[in-house]
Structure 1
Amino acid sequence: MVNNTVQRCDFRMHDMVDGKFRVERVLNSTRTDQKFKVNDTSGNEYILKLLKLWEVEPSLRQKMLLSADNEIKSCQIKSNYLTNIVHTGMVNGNPYLLLEYCKSLDLSHLIRNQRLDIVKTAKEILYGLRDLHKSGKVHGQLTPENILIADGNRVKLTNYVILGGRANLLASKNKTLHSHFIDKALAYQAPELYRLERYATILPSVDIFSFGVILFFMLTGELPYGKLVTESDWIHYQTRVQSDDWNRNILFRNEQREMWMNILEACLSADPHSRAGSVDELLEKLPGNEYPYIAVQGSQVEAPNAILNGIMLHVMQGNDWGKCYRLPEIMPSPKRIITLGRKDDSIFNQIQLSEPVSSYISRRHCTLEWDDETETWYLRDGQWDKEVQGNWARSLNGTYINSKEVTEEGSKIIPGDIISIGNVKLRVEAY
């Protein structure tokens, strides 16, 4: 049914989209989506992002539509530091979303500008990232072009909604690596994304690295690992990234050198485990009394943390978006364990995660164990399996709490933690 109703959309200036929004300017077009500046009938300005569903192979359209729908739902985050989604719809069978528009310049136009307050800008970029991470989202493509500086030097992160599917994000980036065109966005990409064996599990540490490159660029007007113009530059750039060989001498005369170096060292490590574990760790290194965080009333960025009955897992990203699993209520007595895995008729799990678009969740992915003595839940990678050596089968793509990989020995979980299983993100919440 979807295939029969999807039609190509070639919107140009002054065209009407969905009979509601007039195209003022075509901003850009990628392999998966198009972006326009539009006005509604009252003259209000927005950014409209349209998924090119007509470009998708007909047999995959239903899955792509489901993926886009879940992505849009999971990105409806109320934050003063993000360009917020204000409307969604369909036009000619293609989904679109409407983002708030603010008169602004992107950060790339303000580098080395004396009016740019670097401390304020850095803190507000981190506030935006923190709101994303606490909501189970990773930006994944943070660059100066995706950071808007609005009136009053207010920072808003944009382009964090990936309509083409997060699992496809790096696959498309990988094609850029083998082309003759060097995408300048590669300079901000974390080195673990150069390798695609675990590309389905994109962690907050990816954004930490990108922030470090952006901060260095704000401070110096240069990239930390050298110029990036030609294919030869890219080869050398990657080598320096992998060797942690960034230009530490350029900040020698900076009056706040010690503070900035401390932050940069916590970001610019090739090993994601050596980076700051969270945005909060970076914020603690910045002056705490300047530019405080401003919350949006009614925002659900913070996970409920007052435990009355127990804790639950809330699906923040994935096909089961919005679903909640109350652990005490699904724990099979007297075993005190809960198994999680990909929904599959051949294996039984108390928590079965649907994954119709990809296959990055193992059927026996991980195990939750309740400790009566300490009244604590622990998460272990893998599950008991009598058919394998050692009777314990690890997952294929790993289990993560925030940015830390979980071992088979297990790690404690508390409200606010984000569990990453393939492309699925679950937030630990109290209820």
Structure 2
Amino acid sequence: MTRGQLPSDQRAPKPGTYVKDFYLERMLGEGTFGVVYLARKQEAPQQEVALKLLKSWAVPPHAEESLAKRFELEYHTGQISSLNLVQTLEMGEWEGTPFFTMEYCPKGDLRQLILKKMPFLRAETVALDILKGLNTLHHFGKIHRDLKPENVLFDDAGKAKLTDFGIAGHLNIQLTVVNSETQRPEQIFGSYAYMAPEQASPRHRSQTLLPTIDIFNYGVICFELFSGGSYPFGSWNTTEDIAAYRARAAKGDMSDLSTYCPDLPSQWVSLITRALQPDARQRFQHTDEMLAFLGQLPKSAPKKDYPNALIVRNGEEFRRCYPLPPNQRSRIHRLGRAESDVVNDLSIKETLTQTISRRHATLEYHHEQKQWFIRDGQWDASTAKWRLSKNGTFLNGVKVGKTGKRLQTGDIISLGQTTLEAIYSPVKQ
């Protein structure tokens, strides 16, 4: 977001006015579709908050619904309890335009600190804070997709927190806005300097739905953080440098980090190098692996083998719960996009995009083992063949084939743009 005193659009509220019962002190930043203010609530004037307003008037009519949905999901993402995520507080509407408030982080963003070349211990603390925030997002089935220094803020205590989940929040409703007349993109989300090769030029849509996108973004940030502001794939001074930079990133032609930071521990050099591999399969596949590599993975409660429900963590039916009763009558559960002419046991609503196949995946309960297994695709009786989904089924970021993988509590299933968490609920389903 750009910073300034007044919003660029005259339709946005001005500082010194009210949005509902929030008094706008000053503008903190502005982007293409949103403007953020420092604000105070009338009932609690001593408490400063950041208020984000959706610039719905700046959105082409064909994109209004999807953008509003994205905005709502951004608010829900900020409800995840974490010391390393900016927390959202409440949501409302002003003159037909949605807004939400969130905690105010007064110590600026990471961009302002990177160029100061922080001491190693401080830089390492920031890098770990970012990784822990990312880890929390991934455990909730969310991919940020726009991780960059401007989206890392610092609170009063100097703790780094991730923000701007507009792209993040929904394991990404893909909202590259297209001009209805020219059919050319009007905006590409994400910043080219941080984009993974497959994010900038995806061969398959499923490639942009995985944690490895954020892991590459994180590698770029860490390279900048420890080098004092240098990019990993060469200089970038003007827009004319973009093509050459992207080409080097696609080949993995990375600068030598030790040139900028000769005393950087080899553990960090190895982590950054692996995170920046051009082939996503060669990177860390999940932030759990990265925290374990650094000796930072917290102890967690052991998983139970018997989830009895799936809950929507990202999707149009956010928080909807699908029961999985383990009995003979429901041994097979078919998952797919809700369509009137297709029978699925778990019909997933997806109207804004069509990344979920009509017959996407199959859940099977094995009574002898008392375990659920998930397989990509479904049996097609008309052709007597197993049909795989269009965009793949992923379990904790790893692609599931037709042979299947065991499902445990806490696992995240990704079906196109929707993610489901396997849970155990003591409540009778």
Tell me the TM-score normalized by structure 2: 0.85
Deviation at 1:37, TM superposition (A): 2.0
Deviation at 1:60, TM superposition (A): 5.7
CA separation of 1:52 and 1:184: change in aligned 2, threshold 3 A = closer
Q: Which residue of 2 is the match for residue 35 of structure 1?
A: 36
Could you list the runs of 5+ residues in structure 2 that have no partner in the other structure? 1-9
Q: Which residue of 2 is the match for residue 11 of structure 1?
A: 13
CA separation of 1:367 and 1:75: change in aligned 2, threshold 3 A = farther
- Segment of structure 1 superposing worse, 401-410 or 81-90: 401-410
- Segment of structure 1 superposing worse, 198-207 or 98-107: 198-207
Q: Which whole-Å CA distance do the structure 2 matches of 1:345 and 1:227 have between them?
A: 53
Matched, 1:375 2:342: no
Q: Which whole-Å CA distance do the structure 2 matches of 1:304 and 1:63 have between them?
A: 38
CA separation of 1:78 and 1:183: change in aligned 2, threshold 3 A = closer
Q: Which letter maps to 1:210? A: N
From 236, 251, 254, give the equivalent of 2:244.
Answer: 236
Q: Which whole-Å CA distance do the structure 2 matches of 1:96 and 1:182 have between them?
A: 23
Q: Which whole-Å CA distance do the structure 1 matches of 2:316 and 2:39 have between them?
A: 30
Aligned-partner SS, 2:423: strand
Q: Which residue of 1 is the match for residue 214 of structure 2?
A: 207
Q: Which residue of 1 is the match for residue 90 of structure 2?
A: 87
From 396, 399, 407, give the equivalent of 1:402.
Answer: 396
Deviation at 1:353, TM superposition (A): 0.4
Deviation at 1:62, TM superposition (A): 4.8
Matched, 1:364 2:359: yes
From 313, 320, 325, give the equivalent of 2:322.
Answer: 325
CA deviations 1:197-243 (Å, max 9, x no partner) are 41695222111111111111111121100122334321111111111
Q: Which residue of 1 is the match for residue 419 of structure 2?
A: 425
Deviation at 1:161, TM superposition (A): 3.7
Q: Which residue of 1 is the match for residue 3 of structure 2?
A: none
Q: 1:182·1:230 contact (CA, 8 Å) conserved in 2?
A: no
Q: Which residue of 1 is the match for residue 6 of structure 2?
A: none
1:16-95 paired onto structure 2 within 5 Å: 16-18=18-20, 20-41=21-42, 42-58=45-61, 61-62=64-65, 64-95=67-98
Runs of 4+ in 1 over 6 A off after TM superposition: 181-184
Matched, 1:190 2:187: no
- Segment of structure 1 superposing worse, 309-318 or 94-103: 309-318
CA separation of 1:183 and 1:369: change in aligned 2, threshold 3 A = closer
Q: Which letter maps to 2:332? A: I
Matched, 1:391 2:385: yes
Q: 2:146·2:189 contact (CA, 8 Å) conserved in 1?
A: no
Q: Which whole-Å CA distance do the structure 2 matches of 1:136 and 1:45 have between them?
A: 30
Deviation at 1:70, TM superposition (A): 4.2
Deviation at 1:29, TM superposition (A): 3.1
CA deviations 1:295-333 (Å, max 9, x no partner) are 9xxxxxx899446x643211011111111122125x6x3
Q: Which whole-Å CA distance do the structure 2 matches of 1:159 and 1:71 have between them?
A: 7
Q: Which whole-Å CA distance do the structure 1 matches of 2:371 and 2:252 have between them?
A: 38
CA deviations 1:273-316 (Å, max 9, x no partner) are 2211221211123254xxx97x9xxxxxx899446x64321101
Choose between structure 1 and 2 for higher RCO, CA contacts under 8 A separated by at least 6 residues: 1
CA separation of 1:48 and 1:346: change in aligned 2, threshold 3 A = same
Matched, 1:313 2:314: no
Aligned-partner SS, 1:419: strand
Q: Which letter maps to 2:201? A: R
Matched, 1:260 2:268: yes
From 120, 135, 145, give the equivalent of 2:125.
Answer: 120
- Segment of structure 1 superposing worse, 42-51 or 248-257: 248-257
Aligned-partner SS, 1:320: coil
Q: Which residue of 2 is the match for residue 4 of structure 1?
A: none
Q: Which residue of 2 is the match for residue 3 of structure 1?
A: none
Q: Which whole-Å CA distance do the structure 2 matches of 1:151 and 1:335 have between them?
A: 52
CA separation of 1:201 and 1:341: change in aligned 2, threshold 3 A = farther
Q: Which whole-Å CA distance do the structure 2 matches of 1:117 and 1:164 have between them?
A: 28
Q: Which letter maps to 1:127? A: K
Q: Which residue of 2 is the match for residue 299 of structure 1?
A: none
CA separation of 1:284 and 1:199: change in aligned 2, threshold 3 A = closer
Identity of aligned residues (%): 33
Q: 2:223·2:257 contact (CA, 8 Å) conserved in 1?
A: no
